[in-house]
Amino acid sequence: MRSSRKLFYLTVFLIVALLYPRNAFAQASITSPNYVIQMPNFNSGAGIPSSSGYKVNTTVGQTAPGLYSSSGYRIRSGFQYISSIIPFSFSISSYLINFGTLIPDTPSTLTSTLTVSAGGAGGYSVKARENDALKTTSGDTIPDVTCDAGTCTEGTAEVWSLVSTYGFGYNMSGNDIPADFTNSTYFRHFANQTQSETDQEVMLSSSVGRNRIATMTYKINVSPVQPAGGYQNKILFTAIPSY
């Protein structure tokens, strides 16, 4: 059996999406058969006026803004506290993942670090997908891994430890990762856009947090009969704050 050397590249692109309401309406009351809310507030003004000598974070319309405290608690009330405590941010350590030359039946791994800070009351999520499986320009493909038992999917991680299991997938470790990544042997494959698979969450939290860090480990293993060539695809990340 002939063993050949393979060279491919995995290119990682980043998309950060901030989702905000498209429309807002003010009204005197909100009602349904089960409740009545009198005088719902409407944030009628906001912004950060500044000059060379000062900067002011301004917002009006919320109910009872301010700092309230006693010996047993402290309450920060008002829209400005959400925006000022922890501004939303997302970063990724590596935008280009280059595995270089691969050796058949020898799994290779590389990592990226994802970092999120989120101060919104609803937390945040980070989703990921691939534009397609790893391919050459001539159409040769490295398949998305289905793990040792053939049962891992874009939404469910399973054990991938055998050198006879081929494909491309990823593992997550660190803060706010999905529970199915039990340890470093558990992998999924990315949701494939060409197969209409839904983006999957790789980080998720309903809490406020600063510098939440997770490591994504990319893994690839090719068989001795895998055609040589330069393989590549794109991994797209979408970071979404919730307020």
Q: Mean pLDDT, the chain, as a whole number?
A: 83
Residues 138 and 166 in one domain: yes
pLDDT in tens, 67-101: 888 888 877 777 666 555 788 899 999 889 999 99
pLDDT digits (tens, 9 = 90+) for 21-52: 444 455 556 677 777 665 555 555 656 677 88
Overall residue count recorded for the chain in this entry: 243
Q: Is the pTM for the entire model greater than 0.85?
A: no
For residue 66, the model assigns a pLDDT of 77
* CB neighbour burial string for 54-80, b if at least 16 within 10 angstroms, e if fewer: eeeeebeebeeeeeeeeeeeeeeebbb
Helix (H, G, I), strand (E, B) or coil at 88: coil
pLDDT value at position 41? Answer: 56
- Domain span at residue 141 reads 6-18+88-241
At 151-198, the pLDDT tens digits run 999 999 999 999 999 999 999 999 999 999 999 999 999 999 999 999
Query: Total domain count for the chain?
Result: 2
Cβ 192 vs Cβ 135: under 8 Å: no
In three-state secondary structure terms, 108 is strand
Confidence of residue 5 (pLDDT cuts 50, 70, 90): very low
* Position 223 pLDDT exceeds 90: yes
Residues 37 and 148 in one domain: no
Token digits of residue 218: 């990319």
Q: Which of 44, 61, 85 is the last residue of a domain?
A: 85
- Range scoring the smallest mean pLDDT among 4-8, 14-18, 222-226, 229-233: 14-18
Q: Are 73 and 168 members of one domain?
A: no
| Domain identity same for 46 and 80 | yes
